[in-house]
């Protein structure tokens, strides 16, 4: 090391620090694997895992052409044309290269560790972005922040094999290359940014944010009078190549030319061409009048183009904003018109504790960092400003979009903290290379080891400004070091306590502190796989569709890909109807088994009764025979006890959830631990189906539909008849 | 339940302690549609006003008209803001119905809790505003179906939404005639013209603002601070501004997923103070030439930062009881 020059030493330290950050980012996401096992989490990841397995077992061609008959029975799903394939292709590429190198890794493990690996890469990408905006010192801090910030960890722990886990890396990479392209004005970087954008499009629907933010950046630059040839070259290459590439994804197809989400990008592309043309003409024209005329005609042309767009949208040639994106602007829209979107808990607006929980100290460093960007405003700082403002709005509207806010918060906070350290750790000039070292010292200060080094540094006496006394330097740096340490503790605590639960395996603690694993879901799904016919159709609420298909390999009616509202509403109708009507609906859907999640015994609050009102609302939107108000008790509350309305107590979901529950308890004491109420003691009678399986803690309950009666009677009548006869027989025996 | 907050409109719950068994209405003869129309024709806004005295006659006796009844509260004892907001919208609906020439046998009625306590009890209405549709019990459309309720939580207080309900239960498409508010329109037009003229006259200055870093930066920072303090949550969920009573006000709502309106302001101010202290430490302190002053100012800003952040963490611990970290207090 001594033989290296200072520059090389700095570089070495920087690389070492960045590698360390990437490793920390990887390691802090492993709680769930260590605590439970290497298992795929939650709901959507099960679909991604299932498709990845398919891709690994078959080849890419059959993946594109895969028609999945196991979901959305009887409609099926054309998988290749209805998903973003980037994640699966990345995973299978990783798996293939590992196998080529002779590591026989299971595809499940590749999928489980995918998100942590890409989080490490995301830290590097964030470093690069911040370096473009400020310098490498801020970059290292930003990398550390993104590595541990809970806002990002929430979506990228090991086992959370989902689009977002790798898409944030792709987004930051695209932003880095875009900034590079704007700064240099090079078509090369514009093209590379377009390729990164293509990779992002292939992975996550959130690319719409990116394809609106970058044109917004260009537009703001034009407004602020900062339009230049650099911007022209960068945007023209980026848009042209990026759009052509993105249209290669079957799921995206012709959307970039036909939907409102992409129209801003296209309009700015046109505007940029016009402005460049005007500038070119103007530089060759002397006449003032002609210039005015030209400018006027450009203005008229712009207005005409906008009017044409409005006309095309109204005539239906250009699709208007889809509900999912539109609801971000008109926040009441989803609640009124698309209950299926409003029903998802992560689509709720964000109260401030959630943001603080996800960002902690970064929340106030964020505006500070953005302010520092303004102090020397370049093109890239305008970008940071726009990203900060738009992303904070979106994060406020939807909890899940805190994810897109987190990277910019980390960048800004990195800039803020590095400004503090620049000011309070500065020693004698020339500060450049030494300051790098200081930055890495600061990193160790973050870990809490040494901040007293600041005291050794001699203040620059020849400079008129700067902090000249070592106590204030020491104290300021110490306070910030402590706050950073607190942030790291906070992140670890949050990750460990809130974001590392796989949600298909639950943990509870026995009074003596030992962990007790509750594995009802996998138990039940395994039962389905072992005990039902290969082509059995399982009806459940859509939340569990991906898990049933992934773990039991059985056909489901609806799943988490909520593309067909009517079909989901039909399932809701079955769940919310009284038994005979429900049976009729289920026969039409060709259902063999019904699966419900009941938390009453264990106190598992994510169960179907708690989701039930949404089933009712979604069903009501399509089938007016269901009325939400009928399901409330007389006092207007949602109850399951004796005061529950008759409709509620007669509906299928209620019966399936509480069937035989009272047999567990002494007379009249059946207790629901989720709702904290008594459950009616009267026996629930089922005449159209049989209970075939209930898991250990009663979380998963599976019922099999009876065949229609041989004599053509309605099953309720048949059951009543049987019961009558049994009673009579008893009667006869007695005497 | 968990996914939805029930008290969207903060309906006023009424304690209806009624001794219905002692209530004997005076026998009344059945009313016909012509009779009722004669009343509503002279009444304001085409509304049949009901009270405990005439409720049996117009509602309970056999009748050849269908009814939509709004149960509302209009007294100082119970403050019902949604009731008042809905009443003006309801008048729009009823007067529109009149403008359409009362197309069928539907009659709009209204009961105030002050005059119609027992009527509330008879229809088992426990919260206000409430809306019920009752089909006719005589005539060609007679039916014995149950009353159909209008769900204010779900559909809101807007006349158009209520007209949609009317269409659903009654089958006739309604158009709401909103009176044109000329004053409002005039003001809008004046504002537009003035701003256009101002834009033309002051284009140069506006350009300066558009291109000024200060304007952009303040706007961005305000957006950031508002959004990270839960401003949009308030916009969407309409929480009360603060809780508790006048003598014991509560500023912080208990619970992680909820907040009061004032919390957003408190948090935005705290965040702004911390951010400002951070910025000042970098921008202001190094410019101070006097060593002692510099020291003091640096410590003051640091104190602001530490105290502000401690307050933030303290507030957060109130929302999340199990949160283990703190700074000063």
Domain at B128, CATH number = 3.40.30.10
Average pLDDT over residues B14-23: 42
Q: How far apart are CA A639 and CA A459, in angstroms?
A: 70
Q: First CA to last CA across chain B, in angstroms? A: 35
Average pLDDT over residues B153-180: 80
The tens digit of pLDDT for each residue in A666-710 reads 877 788 888 888 887 778 888 888 899 999 888 899 999 988 887
Output B32 or A86, whichever has higher pLDDT.
A86
Tell me what pLDDT residue A722 has.
Answer: 79
Mean pLDDT lowest for which of A179-183, A453-457, B246-250, B266-270?
A: A453-457
Question: Is A214:A235 a contact under the CB 8 Å cutoff?
Answer: yes
The partner residues of A690 in beta bridges, in order of sequence, read A704
Output A319 or A184, whichever has higher pLDDT.
A184
Output A205 or A301, whichever has higher pLDDT.
A205
The tens digit of pLDDT for each residue in A519-529 reads 888 899 999 99
Tell me what pLDDT residue A731 has.
Answer: 59
B281 belongs to a structural domain: yes
- pLDDT grade for A340, boundaries at 50, 70 and 90: low
Query: Would you state the structure tokens that stand for residue B23, as one six-digit string?
Result: 């209530």
Question: Is A393:A441 a contact under the CB 8 Å cutoff?
Answer: no
pLDDT at B167 over 90: no
Tell me what pLDDT residue A730 has.
Answer: 59
> Which residues touch B136 (CB under 8 Å, ≥6 apart)?
B63, B64, B65, B66, B105, B142, B143
CA distance to partner chain B, nearest, from residue A92 (Å):
37
Average pLDDT over residues A241-250: 93
pLDDT at A227 over 50: yes
pLDDT at B204 over 90: no
- pLDDT grade for A728, boundaries at 50, 70 and 90: low
- Same structural domain, B159 and B228: no
Question: Is B195:B189 a contact under the CB 8 Å cutoff?
Answer: no
- Same structural domain, B249 and B156: no
Q: Looking at chain B, which residue has its C-alpha nearest residue A426?
A: B286
> Which residues touch B250 (CB under 8 Å, ≥6 apart)?
B242, B243, B244, B260
Can you give the residue range of the structural domain that contains B236? 213-319
Question: Is B80:B127 a contact under the CB 8 Å cutoff?
Answer: no
pLDDT at B174 over 60: yes
Average pLDDT over residues A378-402: 91
Residues 201-260 of chain B whose Cβ lies under 8 A from any Cβ of chain A: 210-211, 213, 216-217, 219-221, 223-233, 235-237, 256-259
What percentage of chain A reaches a pLDDT higher than 70? 91
Tell me what pLDDT residue A133 has.
Answer: 92
Tell me what pLDDT residue A337 has.
Answer: 67
Which residue in B313, B292, B312, B310 sits closest to B302, CA to CA? B310
Q: Helices in A350-506 by DSSP H: which ranges?
A: 352-359, 362-375, 379-397, 402-424, 432-446, 453-456, 470-497
The tens digit of pLDDT for each residue in A480-508 reads 999 999 999 999 999 988 888 878 888 77
The partner residues of A594 in beta bridges, in order of sequence, read A539, A703
pLDDT at B286 over 50: yes
- Same structural domain, B145 and B221: no
B2 belongs to a structural domain: no
Average pLDDT over residues B222-232: 91
- pLDDT grade for A465, boundaries at 50, 70 and 90: low
Mean pLDDT lowest for which of A7-16, A189-198, A281-290?
A: A281-290
Question: Is B285:B301 a contact under the CB 8 Å cutoff?
Answer: yes
> Taking CB atoms and an 8 Å cutoff, what residues of chain A touch B282?
372, 419-420, 422-423
Tell me what pLDDT residue B30 has.
Answer: 65
Q: What DSSP letter does each residue of B153-220 carry, written as one string?
A: HHH-S-HHHHHHHHHHHH-------PPP-HHHHHHHHHHHHHHHHHHHHTHHHHHHHHT-HHHHHHHH
Task: Using DSSP, state whether A67 is helix, strand or coil.
Answer: strand
CA distance to partner chain B, nearest, from residue A392 (Å):
6
B238 belongs to a structural domain: yes
What CATH architecture does domain A519-710 belong to? Answer: 3-Layer(aba) Sandwich (3.40)
Last residue of a domain, one of B170, B195, B227: B170
Q: What DSSP letter does each residue of A203-257 carry, written as one string?
A: T-TTHHHHHHHHHHHHHHHHHTT---HHHHHHHHHHHHHHHHHHTTSTTTTTHHH
pLDDT at A466 over 80: no
From its phi and psi, is residue A348 left (phi > 0), alpha (psi between -120 and 50) or beta? beta
Q: How far apart are CA A576 and CA A714, in angstroms?
A: 19
Output B161 or A121, whichever has higher pLDDT.
A121
For an interface test with B, which of A364, A397, A461, A629 has the most B Cβ atoms less than 10 Å from its Cβ? A364
The tens digit of pLDDT for each residue in A76-108 reads 888 888 889 999 999 999 999 999 999 999 999
Q: Helices in A36-106 by DSSP H: which ranges?
A: 44-57, 60-64, 86-100
- Same structural domain, B117 and B235: no
B192 belongs to a structural domain: no
B54 belongs to a structural domain: yes
Average pLDDT over residues A200-225: 91
Question: Is B95:B46 a contact under the CB 8 Å cutoff?
Answer: yes
pLDDT at B302 over 90: yes
Task: Using DSSP, state whether A38 is helix, strand or coil.
Answer: coil
Question: Is A544:A587 a contact under the CB 8 Å cutoff?
Answer: no
Output B161 or A430, whichever has higher pLDDT.
B161
B4 belongs to a structural domain: no
Q: What is the DSSP letter of A17?
A: H
Residues 209-228 of chain A whose Cβ lies under 8 A from any Cβ of chain B: 223-225
> Taking CB atoms and an 8 Å cutoff, what residues of chain A touch B311?
none
Last residue of a domain, one of B115, B149, B170: B170
Residues 124-163 of chain B whose Cβ lies under 8 A from any Cβ of chain A: 124, 126-127, 149, 151, 154
- Rounded to 10 degrees, the C-alpha dihedral A617/A621/A622/A623 comes to 60
- Same structural domain, B57 and B124: yes
Q: How far apart are CA B66 and CA B59, in angstroms?
A: 9
Output A345 or A27, whichever has higher pLDDT.
A27
pLDDT at A292 over 80: no
Q: How far apart are CA B162 and CA B95, in angstroms?
A: 13
Q: How far apart are CA B158 and CA A207, in angstroms?
A: 36
Q: How far apart are CA A215 and CA A222, in angstroms?
A: 10
Q: Looking at chain A, which residue has its C-alpha nearest residue B218?
A: A371
The tens digit of pLDDT for each residue in A550-600 reads 888 899 999 888 788 889 999 999 999 998 889 989 999 889 999 999 888
Q: Please, what sign has the CA dihedral across residues A605, A607, A609, A611?
A: positive
> Taking CB atoms and an 8 Å cutoff, what residues of chain B touch A489?
325
Q: How far apart are CA A181 and CA A167, in angstroms?
A: 21
- Same structural domain, B31 and B102: yes
Average pLDDT over residues B321-329: 86
Q: Please, what sign has the CA dihedral across residues B72, B74, B79, B80?
A: positive
Helices (H) and strands (E) in chain B, counts: 12, 9
Tell me what pLDDT residue A248 has.
Answer: 92
- pLDDT grade for A236, boundaries at 50, 70 and 90: very high
Place of tokens 């890409």: A118
pLDDT at A455 over 80: no
Distance (Å) of CA A291 to CA A77, A255, A284, A294: 57, 37, 10, 5
- Same structural domain, B51 and B144: yes
Residues 249-288 of chain B whose Cβ lies under 8 A from any Cβ of chain A: 256-259, 263-264, 267, 270-272, 274-276, 278-279, 281-283, 285-287
Task: Using DSSP, state whether A674 is helix, strand or coil.
Answer: coil
Tell me what pLDDT residue A335 has.
Answer: 67
- pLDDT grade for B316, boundaries at 50, 70 and 90: very high
Tell me what pLDDT residue A197 has.
Answer: 96
Average pLDDT over residues B302-318: 93
Which residue in A168, A143, A166 sits closest to A18, CA to CA? A143
Counted domains in chain B: 2
pTM: 0.79
> Taking CB atoms and an 8 Å cutoff, what residues of chain A touch B295?
469, 471-472
pLDDT at B5 over 50: no
- pLDDT grade for A222, boundaries at 50, 70 and 90: confident
The partner residues of B148 in beta bridges, in order of sequence, read B133
- Same structural domain, B73 and B155: yes
- pLDDT grade for B44, boundaries at 50, 70 and 90: confident
CA distance to partner chain A, nearest, from residue B251 (Å):
14
Mean pLDDT lowest for which of A495-509, B3-17, B290-304?
A: B3-17
Tell me what pLDDT residue B16 has.
Answer: 40
pLDDT at B6 over 70: no
CA distance to partner chain B, nearest, from residue A360 (Å):
9
Average pLDDT over residues A369-389: 90
- Same structural domain, B140 and B252: no
pLDDT at A342 over 90: no
The mean pLDDT of chain A is 85
Domain layout of chain A by residue ranges: 171-299, 519-710
Q: How far apart are CA A608 and CA A613, in angstroms?
A: 9
B252 belongs to a structural domain: yes
- Same structural domain, B218 and B166: no
With helix as H, strand as E and coil as C, how does A158-196 read? CCCCCHHHHHHHHHHHHHHHHHHHHHHCCHHHHHHHHHH
The tens digit of pLDDT for each residue in B51-68 reads 888 888 888 878 888 888
> Taking CB atoms and an 8 Å cutoff, what residues of chain A touch B276?
368
């Amino acid at each position: 090391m001594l033989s290296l020059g200072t520059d090389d030493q700095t570089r070495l330290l920087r690389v070492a620090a960045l590698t360390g950050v990437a490793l920390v980012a990887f390691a802090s996401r492993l709680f769930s694997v260590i605590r439970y096992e290497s298992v795929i989490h939650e709901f959507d990841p099960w679909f991604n895992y299932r498709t990845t397995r398919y891709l690994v077992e078959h080849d890419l061609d059959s993946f594109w052409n895969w028609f999945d008959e196991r979901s959305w029975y009887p409609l099926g799903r054309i998988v290749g044309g209805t998903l973003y394939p980037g994640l699966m292709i990345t995973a299978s590429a990783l798996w293939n290269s590992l196998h080529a190198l002779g590591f026989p890794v299971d595809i499940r493990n590749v999928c489980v560790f995918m998100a942590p690996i890409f989080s490490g890469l995301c830290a590097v990408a964030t470093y690069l972005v911040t370096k473009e905006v400020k310098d490498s010192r801020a970059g290292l801090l930003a990398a550390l922040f993104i590595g541990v910030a809970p806002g990002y960890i929430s979506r990228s722990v090991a086992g959370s094999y989902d689009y977002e886990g790798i898409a944030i890396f792709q987004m930051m990479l695209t932003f880095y290359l875009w900034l590079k392209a704007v700064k240099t004005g090079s078509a090369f970087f514009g093209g590379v940014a377009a390729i990164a954008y293509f990779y992002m499009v292939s992975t996550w629907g959130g690319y719409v944010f990116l394809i609106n933010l970058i044109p917004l950046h260009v537009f703001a630059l034009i407004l602020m009078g900062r339009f230049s040839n650099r911007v022209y070259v960068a945007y023209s290459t980026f848009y042209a190549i990026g759009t052509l590439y993105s249209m290669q994804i079957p799921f995206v197809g012709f959307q970039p030319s036909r939907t409102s989400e992409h129209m801003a990008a296209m309009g700015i592309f046109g505007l940029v061409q016009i402005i460049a043309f005007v500038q070119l003409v103007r530089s060759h024209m002397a006449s003032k009048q002609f210039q005015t005329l030209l400018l006027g005609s450009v203005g008229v042309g712009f207005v005409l183009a906008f009017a044409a767009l409005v006309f095309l949208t109204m005539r239906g040639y250009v699709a208007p904003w889809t509900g999912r994106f539109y609801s971000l602007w008109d926040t009441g829209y989803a609640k009124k018109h698309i209950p299926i979107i409003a029903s998802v808990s992560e689509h709720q607006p964000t109260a401030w504790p959630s943001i603080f929980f996800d960002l902690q100290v970064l929340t106030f460093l964020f505006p500070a960092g953005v302010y520092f960007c303004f102090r020397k405003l370049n093109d890239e700082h305008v970008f940071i400003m726009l990203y900060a403002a738009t992303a904070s709005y979106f994060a406020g509207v939807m909890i899940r979009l805190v994810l897109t806010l987190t990277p910019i918060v980390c960048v800004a906070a990195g800039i803020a903290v590095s400004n503090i350290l620049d000011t309070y750790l500065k020693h004698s000039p020339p500060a450049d290379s030494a300051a790098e070292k200081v930055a890495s010292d600061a990193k160790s200060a973050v870990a809490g080891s040494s901040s007293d080094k600041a005291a050794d540094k001699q203040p620059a006496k020849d400079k008129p400004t700067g902090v000249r006394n070592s106590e204030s330097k020491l104290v300021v740096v110490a306070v910030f070091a402590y706050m950073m340490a607190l942030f790291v503790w906070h992140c670890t605590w949050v990750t460990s306590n809130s974001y590392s639960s796989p949600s298909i395996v639950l943990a509870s603690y026995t009074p003596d502190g030992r962990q007790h694993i509750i594995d009802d879901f996998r138990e039940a799904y395994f039962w389905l796989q072992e005990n039902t016919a290969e082509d059995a159709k399982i009806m459940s609420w859509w939340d569990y569709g991906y898990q049933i298909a992934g773990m039991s390999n059985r056909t489901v009616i609806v799943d988490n890909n909520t593309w067909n509202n009517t079909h989901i509403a039909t399932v809701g109708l079955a769940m919310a109807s009284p038994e005979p009507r429900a049976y009729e609906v289920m026969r039409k859907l060709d259902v063999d088994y019904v699966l419900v999640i009941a938390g009453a015994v264990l106190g598992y609050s994510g169960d179907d009764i708690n989701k039930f009102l949404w089933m009712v609302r979604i069903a009501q939107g399509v089938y007016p025979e269901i009325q939400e108000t009928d399901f409330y008790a007389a006092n207007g509350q949602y109850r399951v006890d004796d005061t529950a309305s008759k409709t509620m107590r007669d509906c299928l979901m209620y019966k399936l959830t509480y069937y035989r529950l009272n047999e567990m308890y002494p007379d009249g004491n059946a207790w629901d631990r989720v709702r904290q109420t008594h459950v009616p003691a009267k026996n629930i009678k089922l005449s159209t189906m049989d209970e075939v399986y209930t898991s250990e803690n009663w979380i998963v309950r599976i019922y099999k539909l009876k065949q229609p009666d041989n004599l053509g009677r309605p099953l309720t009548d048949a059951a009543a008849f049987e019961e009558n006869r049994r009673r009579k027989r008893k009667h006869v025996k007695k005497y | 339940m968990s996914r939805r907050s029930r008290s969207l409109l903060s309906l006023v719950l009424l304690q209806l302690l009624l001794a219905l068994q002692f209530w004997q209405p005076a026998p009344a003869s059945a009313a016909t549609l012509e009779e009722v129309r004669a009343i509503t024709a002279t009444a304001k806004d085409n509304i049949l006003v009901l009270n405990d005295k005439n409720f049996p006659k117009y509602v309970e006796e056999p009748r050849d008209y269908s009814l939509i009844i709004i149960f509302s509260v209009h007294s100082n004892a119970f403050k019902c803001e949604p009731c008042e907001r809905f009443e003006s919208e309801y008048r729009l609906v009823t007067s529109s119905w009149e403008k359409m020439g009362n197309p069928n046998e539907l009659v709009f009625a209204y009961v105030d809790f002050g005059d119609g306590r027992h009527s509330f009890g008879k229809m088992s209405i426990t919260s206000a505003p409430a809306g019920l549709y009752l089909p006719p019990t005589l005539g060609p459309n007679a039916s014995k179906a149950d009353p159909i309720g209008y769900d204010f939580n779900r559909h809101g207080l807007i006349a158009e939404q209520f007209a949609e309900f009317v269409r659903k239960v009654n089958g006739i498409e309604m158009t709401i005639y909103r009176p044109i508010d000329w004053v409002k329109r005039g003001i809008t037009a004046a504002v537009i013209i003035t701003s256009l003229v101002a834009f033309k006259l002051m284009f140069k200055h506006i350009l300066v603002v558009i291109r000024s870093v200060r304007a952009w930066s303040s706007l961005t920072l305000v957006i950031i601070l508002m959004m990270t303090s839960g401003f949009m949550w308030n916009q969407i969920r309409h929480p009360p501004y603060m809780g508790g009573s006048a003598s014991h006000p509560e500023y912080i709502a208990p619970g992680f997923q909820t907040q009061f309106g004032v919390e957003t302001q408190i948090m935005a101010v705290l965040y702004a103070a911390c951010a400002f202290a951070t910025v000042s430490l970098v921008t202001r302190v190094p410019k101070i030439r006097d060593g002692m002053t510099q020291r003091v100012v640096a410590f003051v800003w640091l104190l602001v930062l530490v105290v502000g952040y401690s307050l933030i963490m303290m507030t957060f611990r109130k929302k999340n009881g199990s949160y283990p970290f703190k700074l000063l207090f």
